[in-house]
Amino acid sequence: MKAFIYDMDGVICDTEPVHIEAEQRVLKKLGVTVPLEALYDYQGSSDLNLWTDLAAKHHLSQEPEALVKAKAYLFNRLMHEQGVTPIKGVLSLIKRTDALRAEGLRTAIASSSALDFIEFVTASLGIRDCFDALQSGAELPQSKPDPAIYLKTAAVLQVAPADCVVIEDTENGARAAKAAGMYCIGFRSPHSGDQDLSMTDWIVSDMAEVVEKISCKFPEGLV
């Protein structure tokens, strides 16, 4: 392992319920009802991908870009009101991977969220200096499950995709990591719904499991 890459929403911070709340508020204003389970299917993907799809399915007159802005406004307001809550155990894992940077490990966040929100989260949790790179999928033409964000992150870190380990909580994110040729840890996040993580290399429900085994060598039995 030469690089450890974190997804953010649902892995570093418990923001998935806030995303869902903001999406439901926008949809309610439009007079549209979408089952909660259907919104879970978009977790890990970009907002533009979500609203482009929903606009087509529900014949919305608003442009997807306008819906992205409306949701982002509500989401950011809610996040600033509620504050950033880290996922249980993740700060210990980040501390561990940060310590391994002295041995040559590269670290990054690769999230579908906007870069300014990634920066807000890392600043709020005091972890910005723990990462060599912050990569936003919102700046790329293709969203997870497309591997573009992970291939871009590997290129920025100057590490071959096969030497990267990713931790993801959603099916879209996990598929992106595997399509990029990376080792993927599937994390059963408490508020990410019933995600299919069967394609991942190792599934955990507690960050402590990863902290216990992580090193600059692949943990025994995980390759």
In the chain (223 residues long), the average pLDDT of successive 10-residue segments reads: 95 88 92 88 83 92 92 89 93 96 96 91 96 93 93 98 96 96 95 89 96 69 42
Q: What is the Cα–Cα distance from 205 to 67, expressed in whole angstroms?
A: 33
Please say whether the beta carbons of 50 and 23 come within 8 A. yes
At 132 the pLDDT is: 98
Query: What whole-number distance in Å separates Cα of residue 36 and Cα of residue 30?
Result: 16
pLDDT at 111: 95
Q: What is the pLDDT of residues 8-35, one digit of tens each?
A: 999 999 888 888 899 999 999 999 988 8
**pTM score of the predicted model:** 0.82
Give the per-residue pLDDT at 217.
61
Write the pLDDT tens digit of every residue in 60-82: 989 999 999 999 899 889 988 98
CA distances in angstroms from 92 to 32, 95, 97, 100, 217, listed in the order given = 41, 5, 9, 13, 19
Predicted local confidence at residue 222, as pLDDT: 44
CA–CA distance, 90 with 72 (Å, rounded to integer): 25
pLDDT given for residue 221 in this prediction? 43
Quick one: which of 21, 17, 15, 16 has its CA closest to 34?
A: 21
Give the Cα separation of 113 and 132 in Å (integer): 18
pLDDT for residue 216: 58
